Structure 1
Amino acid sequence: MGYVGAVGGALIGAGLLLLSTFNPTAYSAVRGFFAEVTTPVASAFAWMRGGVAGAPGWIASHGNVRAENERLKKQLADNETLVARARTLNQENRRLRGLLQLRDVTTDAVVIARLVASSASSTRRYATLNAGNWQGVKPGQPVREPAGLIGQVIETSPNTARVLLIVDPESIVPVRRTRDGLPAIASGRGDGLMDIRSASVATMIFQPGDTFVTSGTGGIFSPNVPVARVIRTARDIAVAEPSANPDALDFALVQQSFLPEPVPSPTPAAAKAKPKAGQ
């Protein structure tokens, strides 16, 4: 087979040599035919050779792209954390500025304190303020923010105060409807919402969107503080959402009670002990 191949190759070479010498035109046609046959094969081998030669570079490039992708993902996650923190600080600053403005325009402000705890997972709804007796906080004082009423102080200690939130079932707030002034009673449900009931013998027809503010009745809550907005009705009871959501608050303003505490009358013993004029 080797001799046959060598002899065949020699004969083909000699024929092509004679053809190129005596008939260049025919030789060009033959050469073009072989070029058409061998060019695709040569192109395929060239592509394979380039792919094999570029494999190390492609692998390195893939590793670099993967590392860059991981770096960009980490940077994106860090940026999202910074954006979320910035939004939280912005909301906190906006609420604090609102409380400062409210304190400046009201004459009964006691102190602005931080809500450090809230019983959001219980049907009893309380909150804790980081201000107490030493800051002038007393039981019975209302607690609010610019958006509306939050609750009422029920217990105090030197530097803390316990607040009964308006969404607690034990909370009762005298209110009035803003569009016509009809009196009503707002009480907590324990689930973050409130029930609104008519405070008069006449049946009150509630409508979704009705807003209620404090009426001042009872002498605890000053009038015209937003309390709740009706979201649905059921006969003579309306379900409302509070104007201020205690679960989303950071700071709150403690106010004096609407009516001052009565001055205690002197006891008979104190009256007898008081010296007379001229003595």
Structure 2
Amino acid sequence: MAPPKHRRPGFSKRAQYSIFASYLLGILGAVIGLLLLAISIIDPRGFSILRTIGAEATAPVSKSLTEVGGATGSIGEEIAAYFAAASKNADMKRELEKNRIEILEARALKQENERLKRLLELNEDVPDSIAMARLISSTAASSRRMATLGVGSTSEVQSGQPVRAPEGLVGRVLETGPTTARILLVSDGQNVTPVKRASDELPAFATGLGDGTVDIRPINLGTNPFKGGDLLITSGSGGLYSPGIPVAVVIRKTETGAIARILANPAKVSHVIVQPIFQAETVRQIEQDEINRP
């Protein structure tokens, strides 16, 4: 049979001893308290000595408890600071990425504004320009180097007219439709452009190599004075291109001339202007002579 839940302490000696010890400790504590109170009244100096002794005796324990509490508090603060720093770090990374994107957009916008400004200045400097338009597309992997212009014969664009960008000469109109035109680029292998060196007007011919460069051959084949960095511009010979349009910059010298990089890369040019032929009568006469040649 199970013992009852609430047994009287008289049935257990352990319980009786526990009750007696608690009574004894309570009485002892009351006596010590009355004794200390009497000492503090009768002999305050002696009580002060006892209080100092008690403080010295309990100081190590109090110090240990204080250090444990401080360490626990420091650990808690460090944990909280760690999670707070992680959150702040994530916020800073997001803010940095946002700022980086805004900076890149601002740079792209600045470059676009500068390019459009140069184009507008070019249009003002060339009062006889026929049309301003966008390059719709250009070939990059074909054996021929062509581009498509977003204007055509309805805008008075005709075959043979030069096409240029703020950076320099792009090519010439090859074929026209009502609203589009095909351009033969300077880099095409069948496009030969009369040029001259800007520093001393040394005449030469620039022939496209199909890779964004041109082969420069001086008219006087016995000499080869080209060097890296030479700027080549249109000479006006042949009557097609007006003189002074930038064409290319020499990047290296060869045995017979030089290789130059075209300044107006159609892959990077978006807007161009179409100019009239520099000397239309001369060009028509040359074309007629070629047709009549046996």
TM-score w.r.t. the length of structure 2 is 0.71
Q: Secondary structure at the match of 2:134?
A: strand
Which position in structure 2 is the counterpart of 1:62?
Answer: 84
Q: Secondary structure at the match of 2:84?
A: helix
Tell me if the contact between 2:133 and 2:149 (Cα under 8 Å) persists in the aligned partners: yes
Q: Deviations over 1:54-96 (max 9, x none)?
A: 799x49x739x73x66565445544444443443343333333
Aligned runs of 1:55-134 on 2, under 5 Å?
Answer: 58=80, 62=84, 66=87, 73-122=93-142, 124-134=144-154
Alignment length, in residue pairs?
260
Distance of 1:123 and 1:159 partners within structure 2? 25
Which position in structure 1 is the counterpart of 2:239?
Answer: 219
Q: 1:230 aligns with which of 250, 255, 263?
A: 250
> Percent identity of the aligned residues?
37
Mark the CA change 1:27 to 1:10 in structure 2 (over 3 Å): closer, same or farther. Answer: farther
Q: Secondary structure at the match of 2:130?
A: strand
The structural deviation recorded for 1:170 is: 3.0
Which position in structure 1 is the counterpart of 2:5?
Answer: none
One-letter code aligned to 2:57: F
One-letter code aligned to 1:62: A
Distance of 1:96 and 1:113 partners within structure 2? 12
1:205 aligns with 2:225: yes
One-letter code aligned to 1:116: I
Mark the structure with the bigger radius of gyration: 2
Aligned runs of 1:220-259 on 2, under 5 Å?
Answer: 220-259=240-279
Q: 1:139 aligns with which of 159, 167, 188?
A: 159
Distance of 2:147 and 2:182 partners within structure 1? 6
Which position in structure 2 is the counterpart of 1:268?
Answer: none
1:189 aligns with 2:209: yes
Mark the CA change 1:53 to 1:173 in structure 2 (over 3 Å): closer, same or farther. Answer: closer
Q: Deviations over 1:94-141 (max 9, x none)?
A: 333333332333243110001122234556432221111111112211
Which position in structure 2 is the counterpart of 1:179?
Answer: 199
The structural deviation recorded for 1:226 is: 0.9
Mark the CA change 1:69 to 1:159 in structure 2 (over 3 Å): closer, same or farther. Answer: farther
Q: 1:40 aligns with which of 28, 43, 63?
A: 63
Tell me if the contact between 1:95 and 1:251 (Cα under 8 Å) persists in the aligned partners: no
Distance of 2:251 and 2:234 partners within structure 1? 18
Between 235-244 and 225-234, report the one with greater CA deviation: 235-244
Tell me if the contact between 2:195 and 2:203 (Cα under 8 Å) persists in the aligned partners: yes
Residue ranges of structure 2 left out of the alignment (5+ in a row): 1-16, 289-294
Tell me if the contact between 1:229 and 1:240 (Cα under 8 Å) persists in the aligned partners: yes
Tell me if the contact between 1:19 and 1:27 (Cα under 8 Å) persists in the aligned partners: no
Between 97-106 and 5-14, report the one with greater CA deviation: 5-14
Between 141-150 and 186-195, report the one with greater CA deviation: 186-195
Residue ranges of structure 1 left out of the alignment (5+ in a row): 266-279
Distance of 1:12 and 1:248 partners within structure 2? 97
The structural deviation recorded for 1:39 is: 2.6
Tell me if the contact between 2:218 and 2:224 (Cα under 8 Å) persists in the aligned partners: yes
TM-score w.r.t. the length of structure 1 is 0.74
Distance of 1:55 and 1:201 partners within structure 2? 81
